[in-house]
Amino acid sequence: MTAAIRATPSACPACAAAPAAEALAARALPDARIALSLPTIHCAACISKIETALNAHPQVRSARVNLTLKRASIDAAPGVTAEEMRALVEGLGYEAHELDAGTLNATATDRAGRDLLMRLAVAGFAAMNVMLLSVSVWSGAEAATRDMFHWISAAITLPAIAFAGVPFYRNAWAALRQGRLNMDVPITLAIILAVLTSLWETSLSGEHAYFDAAIALTFFLLAGRYLDHRTRAIARSAAEELTALEVPRATRLRDGAEEVVGLADLAVGDLILVRPGGRMPVDGVIVTGTTELDRSLLTGETLPVFAGAGQAVSAGEVNLTGPLTIRASAVGAETSLHRMADLVAIAESGRSRYTSLADRAARLYAPGVHILSGLSFVGWYLYTWDLRTALNVAAAVLIITCPCALGLAVPAVTTAASGRLFRRGMLIKHETALERLAQVDTVVFDKTGTLTTGTPRLTNLDALPRDAVELALALSGASSHPLAQAITRAARDAGYLAAKLTDITEVPGYGTKGVFEGQEVRLGRASWVGARARAETATFLRVGEAAPVAFTFTDALRPGAEEAVAALVAQGKRVILMSGDTTPAVAALAARLGIAQWLAEALPADKAARVAALTEAGAHVLMVGDGLNDTAALAAAHVSISPASALDAARVASDIVLLGNDLAPIAAACETARAATRRITENFRIATLYNIVAVPLAVAGLCSPLIAALAMSASSITVSLNALRLR
Amino acid sequence: MNVLAYLIPISLILGGLGLAFFIYTVRSNQYDDPEGDARRILSDDWDDHPKP
C-alpha cells in the first residue's frame, strides 16, 4: 500500500502521473503489491479475462487470480494505486474490493500447514512400505527372512519417525516441563517405547516387532492434526480477509492540501477531512462544518444526532450529510474505540474457562494409560522375572491404548461441521466454538445492525397527502442522508413523481430546502422546521407557514431475522433483546418479532453485566451483536456471533462470524453444533470400545503386532467414517 | 527368495521418488489454488504457445 500512501509530489494529479515524476518515484519506492478481493468470480473465463486485462496494463508486472481464495494479487510498478486496479476490474463487470496487504499475512500460517503436510507425507510413505513388509512377516516369514524384514523396517521407520513425530515430541516436552499431562505425552511415550522394544527384539531376532504400529500411529495422528490445522487456517484466512477489506486510511489536510495517509501516520492535532458517508478515523473535535452523525455502531441508537463546530466526535461514528474538518484529539490506541478493548479484556477474564471435550477425555485417559501399562510391566516382571517379556507387554499395552482414534475423533468432526457451516455462510473462528454453541440455552440479540439492517424504511407513506410526498421526493433526491434516501426509495417504488422545485440546497446537519411556487419548502429535523420531536424516528416537511407533515420510519429487518428468532424459540431457547436504542423503538421490534424479554437504553457495561448475570444464574448465553457497545457482552457470553458488517472490534471478540446478510443460519448452526457434539461423544465411545476389546488381550500378553495394527486402523477408520455421517 | 534383493530396493526407490515429487509439489505452492488450477486447464489462452 506504499503507493497509495505516498504523498503526491505536486498538487495536480496529472503532473504526478507524468513520466518524469514516475521515474523519480520508481527509484525511491519499492514495488506496489496490491491485493483485491473478487467475490463474484467463479469460472475459467473469469480468471483469464481478469488476468489478461490486468497484465495488459503497462505498469503491472504480473497479476495472478486465485479462485480458491477469490482474490487477485498484483505486482506492479510503484505509483500504481489499488483504486486504479479496482476500477479496472470493476470495468470488466466483476465486483472488486481492495484488501489491505499488510493485514494479509498468509505466509506464516501457510508455512505451518506445509510443514505438517510434509511430515504427513513422510509418515505415509514410511507406513505403506513398513506395512507391506509386515504383511509378509504376518503371513509366515521366518528366521533370516523375518530378521531382514525387521531390519529394513527399522531402517525406514527410525528416520521417518524422528522427522514426522516432531510436533508430538515438542508438545509433550512443553507439557511435561510445566508438570502437566496432555494427549501428546502418552503418544510420545508409546512411539518411543514401541521403537526401542522393537529394536531390542529385532537384535535378538525375536518374533514381534512394532515398527508398523509405531509409524501407522504417527501417520493417523498427523492426519488428525493436519485436518485440525486446515480448518483453522481456512477460518483464519477468511477472518483476515474481512479485516483487510477495511483499509485504514484518512484524508489529512496540511497547508490547505489534501493527502491520503494511513491511520498509523496520524498524530494528535492533525486536521482531518471526513466526507459524508465516511467513518471517523480518530477521536476529535469538529473545527468546521455541520452534519448529522450516525452513532449506531457505538451506542445502538438509530436516530442520527446533530453535530456542529466545537463538538467532540468519537472514532467509529459515521458522518452523514456535510463534509467535516476535525482536529484529532486522540489517535490509534488512545481512541475511545480502543479504550473499549479494556472492557473486553475484563469481560474475557470473567469468561468461564471452557475445557474442550478432547481435553476432558485426555485428562481421564492419559494417567489411566500410563498406570495400566506400568502395572502390566510390573505384573509380568514379577510373574516371569524376564525383563524382555515384561517390556514387550508394556509396549503392546501402550500401543493398543494409544489415543489414535481419540486424536482423530474431534478434528474429523469439526472439519466436517465447519465446512458445512462455512458453505452456509458461517465462519467458525474459535476451535471450541462448536462445542460451546451446542450447549446454548439463552440467546441475546442486539437490535441495531443485528436484527435490523440499520437502514430506515418509511412507514406512513399511505397516510400522507400526495402533494406532500411529491415535494418531499424532490427534496430528498438531492440528499444522501439515509432518511432522505428512504423517502426517495419508497416514493419511487410507489410511483410518485418529484414536484418541480427550484433553489434546492442541502443544509448539512438540518435538512434540505427549496422553493415551490414562491414558498419555501423544508424537509428535515423537527427543530429546523418548527415541529415537535416524536418518539419514533421521523423527518418533517413544511411548506411555507403550513403545519409540518411527519414522515415516520422504522428500521428495516435483516433478512432471516424473523425465521431465526422463531426457530430459536421453537428449539426451546430463551430469546432476549438488548439494545442501546430508545424504549419505544425496542418495544416495537420486540413485539414484531415475538420476543418476550427485552431491555432498552442499555449501556455497553449494562449489556455485559446482564450477560454475566445470566451466566451466573446457570444459563449458557449466545450473544449476537455487531456494535462497539456489544463488544464487552460478546466477550462475556459463553459463545458469540457477529455479522460480517460488524465493527472489527466486535468481530475479533466473537467466536463465529456470519458472512452473509441473512440471520437464518443461526438456528440451523445450533442444530449442527448439537449434532457435531453428539458425533464427537459417539467417536469417543467407539474408540473406548476398541480399547475395551483389545486391552485385556494386550495385558494378557496375547497381543501380536497384527492385532495391534488391526485395532488401530479399524478404530481410526470407523471414527473418520462416523464423522463424515454428519449431515 | 533372491529376487527380494532386487525387489525391495526397487520398491523403496519408486516409493521414495513418489515422496520426493510430492515434496516438490508442496514446496512449489502447487496446492495454493486447487479450484483455480482445476478450471485453468479449460482455458485456451496458452494453447498455441507457452506463457512467456
Over residues A84-131, the pLDDT tens digits come to: 888 888 888 888 888 876 666 555 557 788 889 999 999 999 998 898
DSSP-assigned states of every residue in A639-653: EEEEETTS-HHHHHH
State how far the Cα of A668 lies from the Cα of A236, in Å rounded to an integer: 22
Range of the domain at B3: 1-30
Mean pLDDT computed over A390-395: 84
A300-309, A507-516, A660-669: lowest mean pLDDT where? Answer: A300-309
Contacts of B22 in chain A (CB under 8 A): 121
Q: How far apart are CA A380 and CA A397, in angstroms?
A: 12
Give pLDDT, residue A18: 42
Residue A3, pLDDT > 50, answer no
Q: What pLDDT does A390 receive? A: 86
Q: Cα dist. A373→A344, A362, B9 in Å?
A: 46, 16, 37
* Active-site residue, selected from the candidate residues A270, A446, A555, A626: A446
Determine the average pLDDT of the residues in A474-484.
Answer: 80
- Residue B14 near chain A (CB below 8 Å): no
Q: Which CATH number fits domain A1-99: 3.40.190.100, 3.40.50.2300, 3.40.50.10140, 3.30.70.100?
A: 3.30.70.100
Kindly report the CATH number that applies to the domain delimited by A454-557. Answer: 3.40.1110.10
Question: Would B19 be classed as within a structural domain?
Answer: yes
pLDDT per residue as tens digits for the range A598-632:
888 887 778 888 888 888 888 889 999 887 778 88
Same topology, domains A248-334 and A454-557? Answer is no
Distance of CA A484 to the CA centre of its chain: 34
DSSP-assigned letter for residue A450: I
Average pLDDT of the residues of chain A:
80
Contacts for A598 with CB less than 8 Å, ≥ 6 apart: A576, A577, A578, A579, A586, A587, A590
Q: Is the pLDDT of residue A477 over 70?
A: yes
Domain count across chain B: 1
Class of domain A248-334: mainly beta
Given a cut of 60, whether residue A10 has pLDDT beyond it is no
Alpha helices in A204-248 (DSSP H): 211-245
| Contact A141/B at CB under 8 A | no
Instruction: Break chain A into its structural domains and give their ranges.
Output: 1-99, 248-334, 425-452+558-673, 454-557
In a domain, B10, yes or no: yes
Indicate whether B26 belongs to any domain. Answer: yes
CA-CA distances (angstroms) from residue A598 to A446, A580, A608, A669, A715?
A: 10, 11, 15, 24, 49
Would you call B11 and A67 a contact, using CB atoms and an 8 Å cutoff? no
Q: How many angstroms separate the CA atoms of A184 and A176, rounded? A: 10
Contact B33 A114 (CB under 8 A): no
Task: Identify the architecture of domain A425-452+558-673 in CATH.
Answer: 3-Layer(aba) Sandwich (3.40)
Active site residue A446: yes
What phi and psi values does residue A216 have, to the nearest 5 degrees?
-65, -40
pLDDT per residue over A221-250, tens digit each? 898 888 888 877 777 777 777 777 766 678
Integer Cα distance of A62 and A256 in angstroms: 37
Residue A144 confidence (pLDDT) above 90:
no
- CB of B8 within 8 Å of any CB in chain A? yes
Q: Is residue B41 part of a domain?
A: no
A141 has pLDDT over 50: yes
Q: Give domain status of residue B13, yes or no.
A: yes
Contact B19 A122 (CB under 8 A): yes
Highest mean pLDDT among A200-204, A419-423, A463-467, A642-646: A200-204
pLDDT of A12: 42
The predicted-structure confidence for A295-350, as pLDDT tens digits, reads as follows 776 776 767 778 888 888 887 788 887 788 888 888 776 776 666 656 566 555 55
**Cα four-point dihedral sign A458, A464, A465, A468:** negative
A236 close to A427: Cβ distance less than 8 angstroms: no
B16 occurs within a structural domain: yes
